[in-house]
C-alpha cells in the first residue's frame, strides 16, 4: 500500500489517510488497504489494535444527507472513502467532557479517475458520523465493530445546538445550501436527538472523554 500522507483535521482525533494510485495508459491500480501497513506505518500508530469486522457500501443521490450516527456495545469506528462521486463527510464530537464536545466539521472527499491518489477518513469511537452528497455518489466504509441496532443512536444533522465553529465556512455554506434545497433525508435522521436531549439520556455516559481517549 502506497501511503502518501497522514494528517489531522481541525477536530483532534479525526485523520485523513492519503494513498497512491499507480496509473498508466490503461487506467490505474490502487491497493487501498493492507493490514500490515496500517499496523506498522509510523504515522498510523492510532490504528494499532483496531480490527475491522464489517464493510459497508452506500449509494446516495445528490442532495442526500445522512447521519449523524454512532454506536456502543460494541463501539464502532469507521474508515470511510468515496468510490465514485463526491461525499462531504460530517464528524461531530460527542465525548462527554471533551473540550470539543458538540463541535462538528466537514471534510470534502471527491473521487475522480484522473487523480493520482485517493483518501480514507478515520472516525474513531466517540464521534458521530454522517455525510451529505453533492452528486450521485457511492462510498465504502470499514467498521471496527459489528452493527448492533439495540445500541445505536443518532444526533440530527439539522439540530440547532451543533457548534460549527471549527468547520470550513465554504463547506458549511454547501451544507446549508443542501439543507435548504431538495434535501433527501430519512425521518430517523431528521428527527434524531439534539445534543441537549442526547446528553439527558443515560446512554450518553457510554461516551466519556477520558475513557475513550485512553482507548
Active-site option among 19, 107, 129, 141? 141
141 has catalytic annotation: yes
Active-site option among 32, 69, 75, 209? 69
Distance CA 92, CA 164 (A): 9
pLDDT of residue 150: 96
pLDDT category of residue 169 using cuts at 50, 70 and 90: very high
**46 and 6 Cβ atoms separated by less than 8 Å:** no
99 — phi, psi (to 5°)?
-65, -15
Q: Does residue 214 carry a pLDDT above 80?
A: no
Per-residue model confidence as pLDDT tens digits over 109-150: 999 888 888 999 999 999 999 999 999 999 999 999 999 999
Per-residue model confidence as pLDDT tens digits over 10-30: 999 999 999 988 888 898 898
Question: Which one has a higher pLDDT value, 138 or 215?
Answer: 138
Nearest CA to 17 out of 2, 27, 30, 35 is that of 2
Chain Cα centroid distance, residue 128: 8
pLDDT of residue 181: 86
> Taking residues 191-202, what's their average pLDDT?
96
Task: List, in order, residues 6 or more apart from 166 with CB less than 8 Å away.
Answer: 10, 11, 100, 103, 104, 105
Task: List, in order, residues 6 or more apart from 127 with CB less than 8 Å away.
Answer: 11, 13, 14, 70, 91, 92, 93, 94, 95
The pTM for the full model equals 0.94
Q: Which three cell numbers stand for residue 174?
A: 454547501
Q: List C-alpha distances in Å: 20 to 6, 13, 189.
A: 12, 23, 34
Chain Cα centroid distance, residue 45: 19
Torsional class of 27: left (φ above 0), alpha (ψ -120 to 50), beta (otherwise) = left
pLDDT of residue 163: 98
The CATH number of 3-213, from 3.40.718.10, 2.60.120.10, 3.30.1360.200, 3.40.50.300, is 2.60.120.10
Tell me what percent of the residues of the chain surpass a pLDDT of 90: 81
Q: Does residue 101 carry a pLDDT above 80?
A: yes
118 — phi, psi (to 5°)?
-140, 170
pLDDT category of residue 31 using cuts at 50, 70 and 90: confident
Distance CA 44, CA 207 (A): 23
pLDDT of residue 215: 59
> Taking residues 153-182, what's their average pLDDT?
95
Chain Cα centroid distance, residue 60: 15
Domain ranges of the chain: 3-213
Nearest CA to 72 out of 189, 195, 206, 193 is that of 206
Q: Does residue 198 carry a pLDDT above 80?
A: yes
DSSP state of 145: S
Per-residue model confidence as pLDDT tens digits over 39-96: 889 999 999 889 999 999 999 999 999 999 999 999 999 999 999 999 999 999 999 9
pLDDT of residue 25: 85
**106 and 165 Cβ atoms separated by less than 8 Å:** no
**74 and 117 Cβ atoms separated by less than 8 Å:** no
Amino acid at each position: 500500500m502506497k501511503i502518501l500522507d497522514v494528517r489531522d483535521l481541525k477536530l483532534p482525533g479525526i485523520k485523513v489517510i492519503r494513498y497512491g494510485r499507480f496509473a498508466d495508459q490503461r487506467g490505474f491500480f490502487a491497493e487501498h488497504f493492507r493490514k500490515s501497513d496500517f499496523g506498522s506505518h509510523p504515522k498510523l500508530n492510532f490504528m494499532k489494535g483496531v480490527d475491522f469486522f464489517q464493510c459497508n457500501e452506500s449509494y446516495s443521490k445528490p442532495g442526500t444527507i445522512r447521519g449523524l450516527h454512532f454506536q456502543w456495545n460494541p463501539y464502532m469506528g469507521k474508515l470511510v472513502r468515496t468510490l465514485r462521486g463526491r461525499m462531504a463527510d460530517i464528524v461531530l464530537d460527542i465525548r462527554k467532557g471533551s473540550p470539543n464536545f458538540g463541535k462538528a466539521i466537514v471534510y470534502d472527499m471527491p473521487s475522480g479517475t484522473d487523480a493520482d491518489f485517493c483518501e480514507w477518513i478515520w472516525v474513531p469511537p466517540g464521534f458521530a458520523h454522517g455525510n451529505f452528497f453533492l452528486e450521485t455518489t457511492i462510498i465504502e466504509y470499514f467498521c471496527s465493530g459489528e452493527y448492533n441496532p439495540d445500541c445505536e443512536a443518532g444526533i440530527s444533522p439539522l439540530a440547532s445546538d451543533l457548534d460549527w465553529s471549527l468547520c470550513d465556512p465554504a463547506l458549511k455554506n454547501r451544507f446549508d445550501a443542501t439543507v435548504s434545497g431538495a434535501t433527501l433525508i430519512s425521518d430517523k435522521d431528521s428527527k434524531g436527538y439534539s445534543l441537549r436531549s442526547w446528553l439527558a439520556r443515560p446512554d450518553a455516559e457510554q461516551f466519556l472523554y477520558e475513557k475513550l481517549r485512553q482507548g
